[in-house]
A and B are shown apart, each in its own frame.
Chain A
Amino acid sequence: QVQLEQSGAEVKKPGASVRVSCKASGYSFTSSYMHWVRQAPGQGLEWMGIINPSAGSTSYAQKFQGRVTMTRDTSTNTVYMDLSSLRSEDTAVYYCVRDAGKILWQLVLWGQGTLVTVSS
């Protein structure tokens, strides 16, 4: 069964960092790029960046440059998204999303989402 399993909800204080993991199963991990998308409560979708699980190369939306790091572990078929210097505006559900291939810009398989709450 092809699926993406994300880590559980997190509560962080402003200024802290958070790591969200996303474990892929049921397909060749290195055959498809992985996106990260977030959605603040009651708001729309926002694209954060993309990682090539094969090479580990990344591209980030300019808004998140310097605060986000996406990595992968090919031994466990897991991608990670680290976001630092958290502020209240980062409170959102974070999704990992499998592309249909190598940057086809078709977000075909979504994880269940991870709620990150930033609050003092």
Chain B
Amino acid sequence: QSALTQPASVSGSPGQSISISCTGTSTDVGVYNYVSWYQQHPGKAPKLMIYDVSNRPSGVSNRFSGSKSGNTASLTISGLQAEDEADYYCSSYTSSSTLYVFGTGTKVTVL
């Protein structure tokens, strides 16, 4: 089971919207709604931002939203802020022997 595929980097100016894609297969993203997104600042532990494709945990800004179409999930950050600069990882349950797989990670830069 390979990692889910994400773009290495995405950038945007403050106030803009950006989207990060997460491409999997018919054994993970394509068939399960256990898709999550995590934010990780340098030297810190990851933080859950989206779960079950499009749900936000309590306390997470509504500027973060998630969606899925076929084998690809997406995270959208609207009204980009300096504090959003971080690494973002998607993840999914998988029917393979790996059971749970993360994406390759995307570095978000706020210009």
Contacts and interface: CB of A to CB of B under 8 A. Distances in A.
B44 to A, nearest CB: 9
Interface in A28-47: 35, 37, 44-47
B52 to A, nearest CB: 7
Interface of A: 35, 37, 44-47, 49-50, 59, 61-63, 95, 100, 104-108, 110-113
A108 B100 contact: no
Contacts of A63: 98
Contacts of B102: 37, 44-47
B51 A110 contact: no
B77 interface: no
Contacts, number: 60
A47 B48 contact: no
Contacts of A49: 99
The contact size tier of chain B is: 20 to 34
Contact of A44 (B45, B57, B104): B104
B27 to A, nearest CB: 14
Nearest to B105: A44
A109 to B, nearest CB: 9
Interface string B25-38: 00000000010101
A47 B51 contact: no
B57 to A, nearest CB: 7
Interface string B86-109: 000101010001111111110000
B34 A47 contact: no
B3 interface: yes
Contacts of B36: 105-107
B46 interface: yes
Contacts of B104: 44
A37 B52 CA distance: 19
Contact of B52 (A59, A106, A108): A106
A45 B89 contact: yes
B95 to A, nearest CB: 12
Nearest to A4: B45
Chain B CB within 10 Å — which of A95, A110, A111 has the most?
A110
B34 A105 contact: yes
